[in-house]
Amino acid sequence: MTTRTRKKDIGIFMNRIRNLALSIIVSASLVGSGAVAFAKDSSALEMAKQLNEAFVEVADKVSPAVVVITVTQKANYQGGMYDNNGDEDGSSPFDSLPPQFKKWLDEQFGNRGNHGNRGNHRQQHVPQMQGEGSGIVISEDGYILTNNHVVEGADKIKVRFKNGDVYDATVKGTDPESDVAVIKIKPTAKLIPAKLGDSDKTRVGEFAIAIGAPFQLTYSVTVGHISAKGRSVGPMTPNGYADQDFIQTDASINPGNSGGPLINLYGEVIGINAMIRGMNTGIGFAIPINLAKRVKDHLITEGKFVRSWIGVGIQDLKDDTDYRDLDPKLRPDVEEGVVIRTIQRDAPASRAKPELVAGDVVIAIDGKKISTPRQLQEEVSGKKPGQTITLEVVRNHNQHLSIKVKTEALPSDLAKNDRSNRNDGTGDESTNFGVTVENVNQDSASKFDIEPNQHGVVVTAVEPGSLAEDVGIKPGDVITDVNRKPVANRRDFNQATKNADTKRGAIFNVISNGTSKFLVLKDRD
């Protein structure tokens, strides 16, 4: 090989080395620039990471104030599977169950070998039912907020913290109507309570986080949104949810979450998880924390929550289309408020000064604006029995009045079927509305169980399919006013109804079984 050839080969080799080096440098540069690009997240991804971290921080912050509540109670399902006394022959419904079901019950309730053929030793071992729920620490000294249905009928209550500490608990107070309960433990050190927020300020669409023990999976955290506020749900306890406006959420809630917190991104408790509609539907309900806060103070100090009442039937003015469709001269000059539809006889509202009249529209209580029936109910129920409140009402078209009512404790039994008083008369028929009336006198008062001095006319007959029947008027009812004009006798009634417009509707004030009612009679076509 010549020197020239070797030099040529070396030159080619060196060129290849340079080209390779250059390609490596370029590649490294590209890789490096790519690495920089991936290292720098987009603003959207950065926000997602921050939100992710927020969920983690909230869960870490609130979980120490969440407890798992284990309740043990004797199985005493009357008329069902268990009967603590057994049958007279020493048998029980448990003995007739399929073997595989009895085995499962044995495993669940620790009743192995204690069923069947008990003879004189019946019920030697009463099955123990266990359930789990959740709770929220609300004080350093051991008060815990939960659901009434979690601890109802409990023989023993155990409370377990996330760090493993376990305490015995006692019930301090329960309120079946709101499904709120307070239990108490004696901690060995000061506890860190949860921060209770303001559920009134919660907005639909906000993130919501639930913490609890669904299906015994303790300290499960689920995330969703506030789906709605002000949900009314049918009665779920023997006494019903009397004054509930539930928060609806799609954060997953399951059995065992009951009593646990629904929290916002600030780590504030905005509700107590209470119930679900179906399994895995994404429809859960929480008791607003503002209601729970009102109730808990009474439960801690008194063991119960006594509600006040004034004894009125109410409806949202915005929903009362019959009222809103009336002649402008008859309807109130307000857009929001609560219509007094009925006033119960002998209820606090019947003794208001000046008189409260069915058809009045309440726009404020003690200076606080009222625009929904729920607001009125909460304002009244939260007052102490015996406290006098001031109702600001609009009557007729533009008459504004301040009416004072002294509240009373809500009776335990509101299903009173009392008859009432007020009348004086004889008889005639209103073809427009389908009622026959007569003046109140001794005979009609005796016949319909009303007082002979009752103001108004008494209904003696109601035409089937008439407007009067549509709204529930019945014989024995007393009509006191028509379109805001007092009716003292049948002549007044005939005059008031003679030219009434059934298309637009007419207002009847009626007393039925002692309850004052405000009714709108109008064509439904």
- Rounded Cα distance between 259 and 268, Å, is 15
Strand partners, 152: none
- Rounded Cα distance between 518 and 393, Å, is 15
Which of these, 397, 329, 338, 340, lies nearest to 372 by C-alpha position? 338
145: tokens are 């907020």
Q: Are 487 and 417 in contact (CB under 8 A)?
A: no
- Rounded Cα distance between 324 and 365, Å, is 22
Written as one string, the DSSP assignment of 113-168 is: T-SS--GGGTTSS--EEEEEEEEEE-STT-EEEEEHHHHTT-SEEEEE-TTS-EEE
Q: Are 182 and 296 in contact (CB under 8 A)?
A: yes
Which residue in this structure is represented by tokens 């009512």?
405
Give the burial class of 139: count Cβ atoms within 10 A of its Cβ; 0-12 exposed, 13-18 middle, 19 or more buried. middle
In this structure, what DSSP letter does residue 40 have? S
Give the burial class of 473: count Cβ atoms within 10 A of its Cβ; 0-12 exposed, 13-18 middle, 19 or more buried. buried
Cα–Cα distances in Å, from 416 out to 37, 347, 471?
76, 11, 21
Task: With residue 480 as reference, give the H or E element that holds it.
Answer: strand 478-482
- Which residues have a catalytic role annotated? 149, 179, 258
Cα–Cα distances in Å, from 217 out to 88, 129, 145, 149, 208?
42, 19, 20, 19, 19
Say how many Å lie between the first and final Cα of the chain, rounded: 115
